[in-house]
Structure 1
Amino acid sequence: MGKEIDQAVRLIIQWSKKPKWERFYHETRQLHLLPVCEELGKSEQQALSDINKGGFGDMLFGICLEDFLSRNWGPRQTNPVDDLLKYKGGKLSFTGKNYLRAIKDSALRLWDVVDIDPGEWLDVRDCLRPEDTFRVIEHSGSQSMQHGDIIGARVIKSGGGHRFTGGILMMPRLQALNIKDSIQAASEGLSRHELCGLIGSMWIRQVISPILPALFNTDGEEALFGTVYFRITEQIEAIETVLDRHREFSRDGDNPPAWTWLGEGSKTTTGREASVSGIVLSSQKNGRQCLGQIRLENERLTLDANGKNRVGQGVALIKSLVGDYLVGEPLIKYQTPEQLQQDQEASGSPSSSGPSLREELGDEEYGKIMSDFFDQHYQEVLDQLLPVLDNHSPREAVAEKQLLPKLIVWLRHVDSAEADRADREGLPVYDTQWIWDELGVTGR
């Protein structure tokens, strides 16, 4: 922000702490917090503590302050911005006054990030009104935002363009689709203040206790992570020999002995084919679908697989192959994705959704989830109007000779952005070749 706007923000924060306004700010914060506290059985102070521990305290303050500034309060329905300008307006510049008035008249909305030039600008599209797409000049925030992010923010006109106000809610990436779907379903008929409360409460809910998107395996089963423990005899070498020879098992390592269970002709469902209401967990090895993992260690054979039916098939297969070397019936443990999160919360580790889920599922599975997420995102973007393409969609730009150079620049920008993301997050680079292929564009 410029100095004039910084001065206006500092002054309005001081003004909001005056006794006549402070209680109304706290009422605003409660509008966002209390629905979540009631749902989770937490006190307001417990919820605030969780938010601050996660490093989200400044986000909460910013969003509540701007909601407070956009409302009228008390018997006379006075607005705090109008009140400040009436008594202290002489201390502010023309730019500072206009900035505060813009916040007063603005609305918190949910936005898709559809294009970005880090350090310069980003294009955002209203999730509820897709026809509203703006290029927002944002030097700082655009360096941390990425294609496919969903944010809660107020966009205002400033200096002939658009900009964000200070309060921006970064939606946890893996929960973003759930938040978007829920708000789209519940937003009809809501006032701008009711919508602000809904967006704020859903963000708080995900920060305190994230709800995972619906996850499925490639057979269409809801994700249920099963671990099967077989007690074995001491004939480990015999078990290894049998598993090495079976065509459905591919050796992964020797210490401990481990195999990938590969399906025969299993259907592979990618994120582009998946329903927007869920994400398909899918991985392949040597062109075949991975159904599970097997390892021999600590005098037992362990099978990990996703889905109750798949676990059952794996148990039957292992019994048929090495049943003579097994002792008794296996022990089977199931965990839903939510239970994995609850276990982590009980251990006292941070509740931020991305790193915790990555830690629980491992880099490979987490990478597949993120790949499916971006499959869905870019499939939608191909049909969206982008300012960088003169308000044409990428599919439309293919047919316009004068737009083709701009389309190629945009595609190369997507390639570069994904490479940068992979470098930051330590994950394999998301493969954008399918976007070029789907559009029928060469020149990569």
Structure 2
Amino acid sequence: MAERNDISGLLAFIGREGDWRERLQDVVAEHLIPALEEFELDQEGLADLLGEQWTGVLWGCGFEDFLGQRYEDGNIVDLYLKRRGWKETALNRAYFAALRDAPVSLYEVSNVQPGTSMTLRDLLSDAAPVTVKEISATRTLKQWDRIAVRVVPERDHHVISGALLPFRAETVDFLISGLRDALKLKKRDALRLTRDQLLTCAPIFTTAWLFIEIDRALTPAQPQFTNSDGDDVLFHDLRYLFASGVTQRAVAERLDRVKGFLPQGPKLWSWLAERKGRGGKAGYGIMLDTQMEGVTVLGSMELKGKALLVTVNSTERADKVRKLIRDAAGDLLRSHLTTIRTVDQMRADQQRDRPSEEVEEIPPDIARQLMRDHMDKHYRETLDAPIPALGSKSPRQAVHTAAGREKVIDWLKLLENHSARHDEGPITEYDFSWMWAELGLEEHRM
């Protein structure tokens, strides 16, 4: 493996040949300049922004593209092998020739065996998935990651090239848009590229990655939280004081009559969404909501002393619950006081309110089992809950159509990938195979 990674002889040869050295610089510039000009950066500023570790990878994207370029006077790999190939090992000669002809493409990662191998599925062609032998990348890549790289045949197996770019979901979208524009495809045209098209479009992969990564580095994104209605999460705590002479029993009797207010005790209610006919709108970001037997909990209400306390997680739900309470018990209550908290403020309040005394630590094995049980329960309820990404249909409903199945597959991959990228522990180790099986999608997980 080390032999075919030794490009020192080839680089020295390029450095001695003026025209070829300039051509290499031109190809590398084609990969970098569009993003550098857009964000008004130079290469030194790019390294400072993204980190030195990416400098070599980005240069490698241009270098590998250059190896496949054919000019009027030939190709650099052909020329090098003809003049200096006798100095290289047979493995190196074969690797250079294979890398010259290998196009970059977008691959989906699966069946990762850390330190050994992984399976790559080309998302831009109908080629069969291929297993590649790889040591370092398989120690960091996770199930369903997307990467831009070149797959190179080597003897009786495949390897990947040295320039590998991990693609986020938004980078994939940006790349696909760029490829469609470059190839002048219509919306209905399938994005399936030939080898020659992929070779021609190589700089677009690097540019797409740079545009997203530079933008994220310049403007670090804060996590966006939404509820199942697609509303931005902003916790509203409403406090209604009783009117003079009003008792808790009188207010409780009124609240018991409201459709959707489910009593959880003599002084506590959960506000539930309707089981059927709930449309909802797709939202972006991390969804925060609670489910009760497959139904979304929209808020909670509690009687404390001479006050009614109401908590919801969005401005829109606050407006709706105010109207419901006003219609049901407005004559029993005074005007309310509203406190608004962000997700970070809510977390800070919860942290501050925790008891300061030490609690007995739960044994790790029991903690893991409790977490697995909790995740099992959560995901079993989720299979019957409306999901914004599925057009507010439940996964069980969505799989009944071809388009719905594709959305569910993407949703499952996203869940599994996010879980795999979590810190070590029960979440990282969670086995999602039962969800694929329950939805009849096992064959799409291979």
Q: What TM-score results when the alignment is normalised by the length of structure 1? A: 0.58
Counterpart of 2:49, as a letter, is D
Task: Determine whether 1:218 maps to 2:228.
Answer: yes
Tell me the residue number matched to 1:434: 435
1:403 is matched with none
1:33 lines up with 2:66 in the alignment: no
Kindly indicate whether residue 77 of structure 2 is the aligned counterpart of residue 81 of structure 1: yes
How many residue pairs align between the two structures? Answer: 343
Partners of 1:196 and 1:30 in 2: how far apart? 13
The Cα shift of 1:425 comes to 7.0
The AA in structure 1 aligned to 2:433 is T
1:77/1:19 Cα in 2 relative to 1: closer, same or farther (>3 Å)?
closer
Give, in angstroms, the shift of residue 102 of structure 1.
Answer: 1.4
State the SS of the aligned residue for 1:33.
helix
Please give the secondary structure, in 2, of the residue aligned with 1:145: coil
Judged with a 3 Å threshold, the aligned counterparts in structure 2 of structure 1 residues 112 and 65 are, in CA distance, closer, same or farther, namely same
- Measured in 1, the distance between the counterparts of 2:46 and 2:94 equals 34
Unaligned runs of 5+ in 2: 185-192, 303-308, 344-374, 403-408, 410-415
Kindly indicate whether the alpha-carbon contact (under 8 Å) linking 1:261 and 1:290 is maintained by their aligned counterparts in 2.
yes
Q: Deviations over 1:342-387 (max 9, x none)?
A: xxxxxxxxxxxxxxxxxxxxxx9xx99xx989999xx99xx9xxxx
The 3-state SS of whatever aligns with 1:147 is coil
Native 8 Å contact 1:85 1:97 kept in 2: yes
Partner of 2:128: 132
CA contact (8 A) 2:179 2:201 kept: no
Q: Residue 209 of structure 1 aligns to a residue in which SS?
A: helix
Q: Is the 8 Å Cα contact of residues 235 and 313 (structure 2) preserved in structure 1?
A: yes
> What is the rounded CA distance, in whole Å, between the counterparts of 2:67 and 2:202 in structure 1?
12
C-alpha displacement of 1:60: 1.5
Q: Which residue of 2 aligns with 1:265?
A: 274
- The residue that corresponds to 2:66 in the other structure is 68
Question: Are residues 1:305 and 2:308 paired?
Answer: no
CA distance in 2, matches of 1:292, 1:263: 7
Deviation at 1:107, TM superposition (A): 0.6
Inter-CA distance 417–201: structure 2 relative to 1 (3 Å threshold): closer
Task: For residue 63 of structure 1, report the CA deviation from its aligned partner.
Answer: 1.6
Alignment of 1:5-404 (within 5 A): 5-7=4-6, 9-18=7-16, 20=18, 21-52=20-51, 55-72=53-70, 76-172=72-168, 174-175=169-170, 178-179=173-174, 181-182=176-177, 185-186=180-181, 188=183, 191-210=197-216, 217-219=227-229, 221=230, 224-226=232-234, 247=261, 263-265=272-274, 281=287, 283-287=289-293, 288-291=295-298, 305=313, 309-310=316-317, 312-313=319-320, 324=334, 326-327=336-337
Distance 1:16 1:39 in 2: 30
Change (3 A) 1:433 1:274: farther
For residues 381-425 of structure 1, what are the alpha-carbon distances to aligned partners after superposition, in whole Å with 9 as ceiling and x for unaligned?
Answer: xx9xxxxxxxxxxx9xxxxxxxxxxxxxxxxxxxx9998765637
Please say if residues 269 and 300 of structure 2, whose CA atoms lie closer than 8 Å, have aligned partners that are also in contact: yes
Letter in 1 for 2:29: Q
Structure with larger Rg:
2
Matched letter for residue 209 of structure 1: D
Question: CA contact under 8 A between 2:4 and 2:92: conserved in structure 1?
Answer: yes
1:353 — aligned with what? none
Q: Counterpart of 2:124 in 1: which secondary structure? A: coil
Q: CA RMSD in A?
A: 5.3
Deviations 1:299-357 (A, max 9, x none): xx997736x64454366568888974645x877999xxxxxxxxxxxxxxxxxxxxxxx
Asked if the contact 2:236/2:312 (under 8 Å) is kept, the reply is: yes
Shift, 1:203, TM fit = 1.2
Matching residue's letter, 2:59: F
Contact 2:227/2:313, CA 8 A, preserved across alignment: no
Instruction: Provide the C-alpha distance between the structure 2 equivalents of 1:47 and 1:294, rounded to a whole number of angstroms.
Output: 52
Partner SS, residue 265 of structure 1: coil
Partner residue, 1:424: 424
- Secondary structure of 1:131's counterpart equals coil
1:181-233 Cα shifts (integer Å, max 9, x gaps):
535644647733442111111111222224989997533x4x63446587999
Instruction: Find the aligned partners of 1:196 and 1:161 in 2 and give their Cα distance.
Output: 24
The structure-2 alpha-carbon separation of the partners of 1:262 and 1:151, relative to structure 1 and needing over 3 Å to count, comes to farther
Change (3 A) 1:15 1:224: farther
Instruction: Give the distance between the partners of 1:260 and 1:154, measured in 2 at CA.
Output: 58
2: distance between equivalents of 1:185 and 1:312? 43
Change (3 A) 1:309 1:88: same
**Partner of 1:207: helix, strand, or coil?**
helix
Q: Deviations over 1:110-133 (max 9, x none)?
A: 111243333332221211113332
SS in 2 for 1:167: coil
Task: Please tell me whether the aligned partners of residues 128 and 184 of structure 1 are also in contact (alpha carbons under 8 angstroms).
Answer: no
Does structure 2 retain, via aligned residues, the 8 Å contact 1:120–1:139? Answer: yes
**For residue 386 of structure 1, what is the aligned residue in structure 2?**
none
Give distance in 1, aligned partners of 2:431 and 2:269: 23
Instruction: For 1:52, give the aligned amino acid.
Output: G
SS in 1 for 2:24: helix
Q: Output one character per residue of 1:236-295: Cα deviation in whole Å (capped at 9) or x when no partner.
A: xx9x9999x9957989xxxxxxx99753336799xxx999x9778364344342547999
**Cα 1:84–1:420, aligned 2, differ >3 Å: closer, same or farther?**
same
Identity %: 17
Distance between the aligned counterparts of 1:286 and 1:426, measured in 2?
Answer: 23
| Counterpart residue type for residue 140 of structure 2 | S
Indicate if the aligned counterparts of 1:123 and 1:136 stay in contact, CA closer than 8 A: yes
Cα distance in 2 for partners of 1:94, 1:181 equals 38
Indicate conservation of the 8 Å contact 1:282/1:289, yes or no.
no
Which residue is 2:187 aligned to?
none
The separation in 2 between residues aligned to 1:182 and 1:10, in whole angstroms, is 37
Name the amino acid aligned to 2:161: T
Q: Distance in 2 between matches of 1:225 and 1:134?
A: 42
SS of residue paired to 2:98: helix
1:346 corresponding residue in structure 2? none
SS in 1 for 2:228: coil
Structure 1: gaps spanning 5 or more residues? 252-258, 296-300, 335-363, 384-394, 396-415
Give the secondary structure class of the aligned counterpart of 1:136: strand
1:326 and 1:216, CA in 2 relative to 1: closer, same or farther beyond 3 A?
A: closer
